[in-house]
Each structure stands twice: as C-alpha cells, then as structure tokens.
C-alpha cells in the first residue's frame, strides 16, 4: 500500500509499512513507554520554501528503538491504486545531499517523489541531518 502525503506546497508518496501509526498530532513529549517524541513538519524539512502547515495536522508516526518521530503533514491518504514507483537512477541517487528519496511515481501526470520515511525519521532522531540542513541555509 502507498500513502499520498500532502504538505502546503508539495506531494510525496511513501510505503505504508514505513509508518507505524497515522493520526492526529499529539501534544505529549513522551510516549507510553517513556520514549521522547520528536515532532517536525515534513514540508519545511524536505523543502525550506514549503511553509509549515497549520490547523488540524496529520502525524505520520515512526517508532524507533529509543525515540518516536512524528512527521506532520497537511493531509495523508491511502491510494486506492498503487502507482508504479521507479527507482532513482544510480547517478542521481549518488548526488542527493540527503538519501531520503528512493524513487519517483507519476500521479495525475505529475512526478511525485517517493520517500523512505524510516530513514528520514532515523536521521531526524539522531539530529545529524537537521544540523547539516541548518548549516546549508
């Protein structure tokens, strides 16, 4: 199953099994097992020109060993028909600054980036990639 994720300015797809829970964003700082919850708006994380969404947000929750990451988006839908996701060409994948994109799908004749949300969440939890992004801005 494939999820369609919408931010304020962009659309992305990801595999449903990369996400442990989809729901309304929580306000808690820790989950029921005491793990810290790290929250980030997905739009600005992937594209600094994509403003943070407001209002009722959907949270894509990825549970890691020691932390829980909630990626916030304006809208999340399960696609009735899974699009064909084409892997990125090796020369393109090797040039990505951050390895969070793993392919491209066509939706309504528009290319949509396929994300590896588990890898993105792991990097967010480690804080390594965010520091790299902030340095580049």
pLDDT, tens digit (0-9, with 9 covering 90-100), for 94-134: 777 778 888 999 998 999 999 999 999 999 998 865 544 44
Q: Reply yes or no on whether the pLDDT at 10 is more than 70.
A: yes
* The model's pTM: 0.85
Instruction: Give the C-alpha separation, 54 to 40, whole Å.
Output: 12
Residue/partner pairs of 83-87 with CB below 8 Å, 24 or more apart: 83/2, 83/13, 83/107, 83/112, 85/2, 85/13, 85/114
Contact (Cβ atoms closer than 8 angstroms) between residue 84 and residue 53? no
Contact (Cβ atoms closer than 8 angstroms) between residue 3 and residue 62? no
End-to-end CA gap in the chain: 35
Task: Check residue 137 and give its pLDDT.
Answer: 39
Residues in the chain: 137
Task: Check residue 55 and give its pLDDT.
Answer: 87
Task: Check residue 96 and give its pLDDT.
Answer: 77
Instruction: Give the C-alpha separation, 32 to 114, whole Å.
Output: 31
Looking at 24-127, list the stretches that DSSP marks H as alpha helix, in order from N- to C-terminal side.
42-46, 90-93, 117-126
| CA dist list (Å): 88 to 24, 46, 94 | 32, 17, 9
Task: Check residue 130 and give its pLDDT.
Answer: 52
pLDDT, tens digit (0-9, with 9 covering 90-100), for 35-84: 889 999 999 999 889 999 888 899 999 999 889 999 999 999 999 888 99
pLDDT, tens digit (0-9, with 9 covering 90-100), for 17-48: 999 999 998 888 888 888 889 999 999 999 88
CB atoms within 10 A of CB 79: 14
């Amino acid at each position: 199953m494939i999820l369609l994720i919408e931010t304020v300015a962009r659309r992305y797809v990801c595999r449903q099994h990369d996400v442990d829970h989809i729901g309304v964003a929580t306000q808690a700082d820790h989950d029921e097992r005491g793990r810290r919850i790290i929250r980030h708006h997905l739009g600005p994380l992937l594209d600094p020109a994509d403003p943070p969404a407001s209002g009722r947000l959907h949270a894509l929750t990825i549970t890691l060993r020691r932390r829980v990451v909630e990626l916030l988006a304006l809208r999340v839908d399960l696609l009735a028909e899974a699009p064909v996701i084409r892997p990125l060409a090796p020369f393109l994948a090797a040039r990505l600054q951050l390895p969070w994109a793993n392919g491209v799908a066509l939706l309504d004749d528009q290319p949509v980036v396929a994300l590896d949300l588990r890898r993105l969440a792991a990097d967010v939890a480690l804080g390594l990639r965010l520091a790299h992004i902030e340095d580049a801005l």
